[in-house]
A and B are shown apart, each in its own frame.
Chain A
């Protein structure tokens, strides 16, 4: 029979510990958010002059933040979309390879590489003076540096997307594979085939929805991480357009202190927008989870 012991007596854990944890995890970011709002209104910061709506009004003339947000959104959607697509193909079409070979072990290799190293590697590989360009020149496919297509520091962010895909898709593949095995999707496959469905129908109507629904929170976090990436776009991106983190960090690091309120305003707006986006996406994924399996197809 279980002993009825009060949790905190059993733990000998002072109640304030959770309070301190809340202060660190919630209090500090919220205080920062409040400070950024006050800074954007001229109420806080080194050159605070009193309440002003000047910086908020100026925002309507400055399209930099909007372009940075749209550019980041494009990169995140493309990188996560490609990674999820590749991982789905691998998990749903190469199941024997994933079960009986060294492939799962290989997929761990990119996970140990810091993002800055991956960015530097891709720069050395894909730039106009990079290794692939040299090979194509030696093979006679290109005649000069300029003849090689721009794959890094390009307007569309191809290099940034590739770097994120290289880091994300092995992780998502391992995640999908774990879900595939935990959900006993192989048994469901046998069952659907016995009931007369084709392998394609199993993949589209059973396996894909199960994998996507169960991985939704992790995919959402990966999307947010890509949206706010700093190292990779710093090395593989252009000065314009910039991704959000680079845009805000660049503004904060300028020598002109009068630019600080605008940078705080950008930080505040981005933080609020991201929290709103997460709340919306979480609600969407929650609704998707509540739907019966067949209605999503």
Chain B
């Protein structure tokens, strides 16, 4: 009974945002003190999907940015994580990777803004990409760092003894391994890119 009540409570708590925002999207002339909209219309949705609306193009840009950052950060993080794990000071590199998270994103943007302006990247997709990569690349490096264990190194070396070239063990065997971890960075970058562009 208690379990069911808890589940119902949390289901209501977490689905209420979708319900209320949905009502706001389709409700018309919904003024205080009415608890529910007096009329419903899909006009807002139609306006949203109309050709001259900038939201769809913004959504497309967000997808493009998110995809680019996710792919670049995951690929870069994969290679960097291996380099960090096998460097002379892996702990120091790991601590260094936390630095972009130590500062609030707005403060980080404020600090790097003069350089973004001097590089003529201000207000451009390139500037947003650089800003997002500054956060996403260390995240991917930290996330994928745990993948490069001694066991993976041994598999890699085993593959080499069986005749693989230095690049093939990584491309054929290791790259497929941590794929499941890539969805989260992609999703988060999409949200970040979306809010940045908005």
The interface of chain A, by Cβ under 8 A from chain B, is 2-3, 5, 7, 9-13, 17-18, 21-22, 24-26, 28-29, 31-33, 35-36, 39, 44-45, 94, 96-97, 100-103, 106-107, 109-110, 112-118, 120-121, 124-125, 129, 131, 133-135, 137-138, 145, 170, 221, 224-225, 227-231, 244-245, 248-249, 252, 263, 267, 270-271, 274-275, 278
Contacts and interface: CB of A to CB of B under 8 A. Distances in A.
Contact of B115 (A10, A32, A45, A249): A32
A-B pairs, top 10 by smallest CB distance, nearest first, are A228-B104, A32-B111, A245-B106, A7-B86, A109-B14, A137-B33, A97-B3, A121-B17, A230-B106, A114-B191
Contacts, number: 186
Contacts of A231: 195
Contacts of B82: 11, 13
A230 B104 contact: yes
Contacts of A97: 2-3, 6-7
A112 to B, nearest CB: 7
A138 B35 contact: yes
A224 B166 contact: no
Interface stretch (B39-47, B63-71, B93-101, B121-129): B93-101
Given A9-B166, A113-B17, 9 more contacts: A7-B87, A12-B166, A94-B2, A106-B11, A134-B33, A228-B105, A229-B104, A230-B105, A244-B107
Nearest to B100: A25
A94 to B, nearest CB: 6
A271 B99 CA distance: 11
Given A5-B157, A31-B115, A270-B107, A18 B80 contact: yes
B36 to A, nearest CB: 9
B20 interface: yes
A6 B34 CA distance: 72
Interface in B101-138: 101-108, 110-115, 133-134, 137-138
A117 B104 contact: no
A133 B32 contact: yes
Contacts of B160: 3, 5, 10
A135 B3 contact: no
Contacts of B28: none
Contacts of B87: 7, 18
Given A33-B111, A231-B195, A25 B97 contact: yes
Q: Is the interface of B mostly helix, strand, loop or mixed?
A: helix
A113 B17 CA distance: 10
Interface of B: 2-3, 6-7, 10-11, 14-17, 20-21, 24, 32-35, 79-80, 82-84, 86-87, 93, 96-108, 110-115, 133-134, 137-138, 141, 154, 156-157, 160-161, 166-167, 187, 191, 194-195, 198
A21 B137 contact: yes
Q: Is the interface of A mostly helix, strand, loop or mixed?
A: helix
A35 to B, nearest CB: 5
Contacts of A221: 98, 101
26 contacts: A11-B166, A13-B83, A18-B83, A18-B87, A21-B80, A22-B93, A24-B133, A28-B115, A31-B112, A33-B111, A36-B111, A96-B3, A97-B2, A101-B6, A114-B191, A117-B17, A125-B20, A221-B101, A224-B104, A225-B101, A227-B104, A228-B104, A228-B105, A228-B107, A229-B104, A274-B107
Contacts of A103: 6-7, 10
Contact of A134 (B17, B34, B194): B34
